[in-house]
Amino acid sequence: MPANLTPQYHDAEERFKAAASHEEKLAALHEMIALLPKHKGTEKLFADLKKRLAKLEEEVEHAAHGGRRADPGHVKREGAGQWVLLGEPNAGKSSLLAALTHAHPEIGEYPFTTRVPLPGMMPFEDVQVQLVDTPAVAAGHTEPYLVNLAHNADGILLVLDVTADDGEVAARLLLELLERARVWPRTRPVPADAPPFLAIRPVIALGNKADLDDGTFAELAREAIGKDLPFHAVSAFTGAGLDELRPLLYRELRRVRVYAKEPGKKPDLAAPFVLPDGATVHDLAERVHKDIAAALRFARIWGHAKFDGQQVDRQHVLVDRDVVELHA
């Protein structure tokens, strides 16, 4: 069966061949996978692309641990999901990261204090969510790797300084960066002619330094960034709005927490498996071990089931906080 590859796929393939850095190769590979027609004639090609992607990601990780300079824009995803913080100079991204996580970024009153992406883990109930601080987005001074970092993230936080007098300029630069990164806010209707590699993601605007504002500047910032994007006034200094932000960031990832148990034993409620919303019993088995998934016959469910210990098949869709007993 012919592959029937599109011109857009071939363009991405040429960019992959010409790429000089891991960052560029990863971006092109992700685009090739998204553009590849999915049918029997492309199964081997799809498997080859996934193998190349895994090898390239392994090389990036090995370079980072081996002391060699890895791509500066690559941040290994950890926890329930990854949010990338984008903002103008002195918007308070680093202060927000420090307030929400256990990370200790360098914080200064001068522009461009953050020079490389810095991840931190935000605790939420029994899981952790990764937040990534990034160098400032400014006219004439935006790190080129931010495009790929934003495209590959699970969600984007646009950090605005509500006390700044150039809010409209900052908002425009951030929205332009999203456009270059091919990120489409999930709250906006997707165009009918949207390309298959468009990353539809949750995008949330944060009006930081709300403690210095009576609400007037926050409203101006909201208008500048667009009222079709969720907007939350917060303060990294006082903590205002952060308690409401934590559950929102987890909820917008659209994940489910599932607790596995062995027959006759209690589940480990301190270490859930975090899966995408809509995941099945078979998806959980794959996460536990591929051999268990291959031999899986059925499972028993505690949680949203009609009764405790209800027997379900491998295609049963799981719900947040389900307890699952796998039977191979």
Among 41, 46, 47, 45, CA closest to 2: 41
Q: Residue 28 contacts by C-beta under 8 Å, 6 or more apart in sequence?
A: 12, 13, 15, 16, 19
pTM of the model: 0.79
Measured at the CA of 303, the angle between CA 78 and CA 292, to 5 degrees, comes to: 60
Pair (137, 281) in one structural domain:
no
- Look at residues 252, 287, 303 and tell me which one is the last residue of a structural domain: 252
Pair (152, 13) in one structural domain:
no
- Look at residues 231, 252, 273 and tell me which one is the last residue of a structural domain: 252
- Look at residues 252, 271, 287 and tell me which one is the last residue of a structural domain: 252
Pair (98, 170) in one structural domain:
yes
Q: Residue 227 contacts by C-beta under 8 Å, 6 or more apart in sequence?
A: none
Instruction: Please name the residue that has the structure tokens 């099945």.
Output: 280
Pair (227, 102) in one structural domain:
yes
Residue 82 near residue 153, CB atoms below 8 Å = yes
Pair (189, 133) in one structural domain:
yes
Q: Is the residue at 137 inside a domain?
A: yes
pLDDT in the model for residue 314: 93
Pair (51, 88) in one structural domain:
no
Give me the number of domains the chain comprises: 3
Residue 234 near residue 206, CB atoms below 8 Å = yes
Q: Is the residue at 47 inside a domain?
A: yes
Pair (262, 179) in one structural domain:
no
Q: List pLDDT tens digits, range 215-263.
A: 888 888 899 999 999 999 999 999 999 999 999 999 999 999 999 998 8
3-state helix, strand, coil in the chain (%, to 5): 35, 20, 40
* CATH number of the CATH domain containing 238: 3.40.50.300
Structure tokens belonging to residue 120: 């931190």
- What confidence tier does 8 reach under pLDDT thresholds 50, 70, 90? confident
- What confidence tier does 170 reach under pLDDT thresholds 50, 70, 90? very high
Pair (124, 227) in one structural domain:
yes
**Which domain does 269 fall in, by range?**
256-327
Q: Residue 231's Cα: distance from chain center in Å?
A: 18
Backbone dihedral angles phi then psi of residue 240, each to the nearest 5 degrees: -60, 130
Pair (268, 248) in one structural domain:
no
Q: Is the residue at 77 inside a domain?
A: no
Q: Within 10 A of 18 (CB to CB), how many other CB atoms are there?
A: 10
pLDDT in the model for residue 270: 86
User: Using CA atoms, how far apart are residues 229 and 86, in angstroms rounded to an integer?
Assistant: 15
pLDDT of 113 above 70: no
Pair (244, 269) in one structural domain:
no
The CA-atom distances, in angstroms, between 289 and each of 47, 119, 164 are 20, 28, 51
Average pLDDT, the chain: 88
pLDDT of 311 above 90: yes
Pairing of strands 203-208, 183-185: unpaired
Structure tokens belonging to residue 21: 């850095």
SS3 133: strand
Q: Within 10 A of 263 (CB to CB), how many other CB atoms are there?
A: 8
